[in-house]
Structure 1
Amino acid sequence: MDTSVNEVRLVGRVSGSPVHRVLPSDDELVTFRLVVDRPVKARSTSSGRQVRVDTIDIACWTSRTRRRAIALESGECVEVSGALRRRFWRAGAAAVSRCEVEAASIDRLRVGAA
């Protein structure tokens, strides 16, 4: 039995305009950032600094999620479901990585529905 689960559900506001790219492999990708409010109890860090939001990178690889993402506008409230992924690549001589959510679905929400 497989006990591993990698499911993410986020509700937040689109930050900036989505970006469409064609990679050297000819794969297409649309990315955008989602701003998610932190619950009041989770806003303090160990240093005592207040963090009110998290900004999360969203990657859209399927044609359906790319179409939905590219039509989004900054400030729009959406729900994103998918999986957390860690991407690795080379930047010059260094290997770098970043965590992002690979979107499986994107749904627009009415204001106040979040």
Structure 2
Amino acid sequence: MAARTAAPANEVHLVGRVSGEPAARTLPSGDELVQFRLVVPREGRREDGGRTRVDTIDIACWAAGVRRTAGRLPDGQAVEVLGQLRRRFFAAGGGRASRYEVEATQVRRVELE
């Protein structure tokens, strides 16, 4: 079987519900962002027939328009998020730390099926 070719890509498309209130922050650098958590159900059900599993994903909104939209989202609001996966480094507890988050380029309210 021949290998397929593909261009490098970093694209994230998520649809889920906001968990908690979005938080506006100003970093020591002066940069502003709004962060929130998005709860996204996983495909399928648990093997034991229990509740559907979910993933909780951190979303960071840096662009002014996206920050405005995200800052007005109520807890439980269904949203679609487009963006890229980022690893952010920062100072923490006397050392350096990092975290992965989705940097949103678009956030919009949606109705879930």
Q: State the TM-score, normalized to the length of structure 2.
A: 0.85
CA RMSD of aligned residues (A): 1.9
1:91 and 1:51, CA in 2 relative to 1: closer, same or farther beyond 3 A?
A: farther
The whole-number CA distance in structure 2 between the counterparts of 1:18 and 1:82 is 17
CA deviations 1:12-56 (Å, max 9, x no partner) are: 000000000111111110000000000016x57xxxxx8700000
Match of 1:12 in 2: 16
Partner SS for 1:34 = strand
Give the deviation of 1:3 after TM superposition: 2.2
Secondary structure at the aligned position of 1:40 is classed as coil
Distance between the aligned counterparts of 1:99 and 1:111, measured in 2?
26
Task: Tell me the residue number matched to 2:82.
Answer: 81
Deviating above 4 A after TM superposition, structure 1's stretches of 4 or more consecutive aligned residues are none
SS at match of 2:103: strand
Larger Rg: 2
Letter matched to residue 70 of structure 1 = G
- For 2:7 and 2:67, locate their aligned partners in 1 and report how far apart those are by CA, in whole Å: 30
Query: Unaligned 5+ residue runs, structure 1?
Result: 45-49
Structure 2: which 5+ runs fail to align?
1-5
Supply the distance in 2 between the matched residues of 1:66 and 1:26 (Cα, whole angstroms): 15
Task: Give the Cα separation in 2 of the matches to 1:84 and 1:51.
Answer: 24
Alignment of 1:44-55 (within 5 A): 52-55=53-56
Q: TM-score, normalised by structure 1?
A: 0.84
User: How is 1:9-88 mapped onto 2 (pairs within 5 angstroms)?
Assistant: 9-40=13-44, 52-88=53-89
The aligned residue for residue 97 of structure 1 is: 98
